[in-house]
Structure 1
Amino acid sequence: MQHAWDQPPAIVRVAGDFDVYTAPGVRQELLAAMGWQGEKGPRHVIVDLDDADHVDAPGLGVLMGAHYRLLERGGGVLLVSTHERHRRLHRLTGIAEPVPPVTKGIPLYDSVEQALTAARQDRPT
C-alpha cells in the first residue's frame, strides 16, 4: 500500500487570469492532481502562479479549498511566484497565516525547486 507521503508533490501551473471564470477549471485540475481517493495521492500540491496575470477572490478560494483538503493528509498547497503582485496579494490576504482550526497557512516560494525541497522536508508527524 502506498501512503500519501510517499508520493512526490504534484505541480499545477496557472496561466492567464485566475478569476471567477477560470477558477472552476483550476479547481478540477487541483482535484485531479491531488488524486482525491481516500488517502491516496500526494500530501502537497505546488501551484505555480508565475504565468498568472491576475488572481482574484474566487481563485484564492480555490487555493484555500485545496489547502484544507491537503491539510487532512498532513500536507498543503505551496505557492510559487516571483511577481510582486502575487507577493502583495499573499501578504494582504493573510493566507500565509494559520487560522484556527487550520494548522498552517499557505507558503510562497520563489521557485518550483524551492517548493519541492520544502515539501520533501515536511514529513508527517
Structure 2
Amino acid sequence: MTISPIGPRAEDYLNAIREVFGFEPNLSGLRLITAEVTHGFLIAQFENLEGSPCLRYGARVWLPGSTEDRLWITYAETKDVVEWVRWAVWLRVMEAYQTGDYPDEGLGPDAVRWLIDDVRSG
C-alpha cells in the first residue's frame, strides 16, 4: 500500500495494522481486537491467544506527521504504510510481549496492559 506524498490517512494506518496483525495471529500469540487513529496516535488492543480472555494488551504508537518526518524515515525507507506498521508497531509489540519488557504497572482503569505506550515514553 503506497501512500500520497502528503502522508498516510487514518484509514491507511487502520488497513495496514489489520493486514499485519491478521496475517498470522498464531505467530504472534496476539489477536487484534480494536484499532483506531486519534490525536496523532495509532492505538490498538489485542487479546492473548493462550487462554487468558480477560487480559488485554495494547499499543499506543506515535504517528509520523508526514513521509518526511524522522519517525517515518526511521521505520520505512519504502514509504509504505504496511512496512511502517510492521516495523513501528508489530516488531515492537512482539519484542515487548515475548520478552516481558514492558512497564509492569498492573492494569490501568481501561483494563489494558500497555506493551508500547509512546504517550508515557515520549
Give the TM-score of the pair, scaled to structure 2: 0.28
Give the TM-score of the pair, scaled to structure 1: 0.28
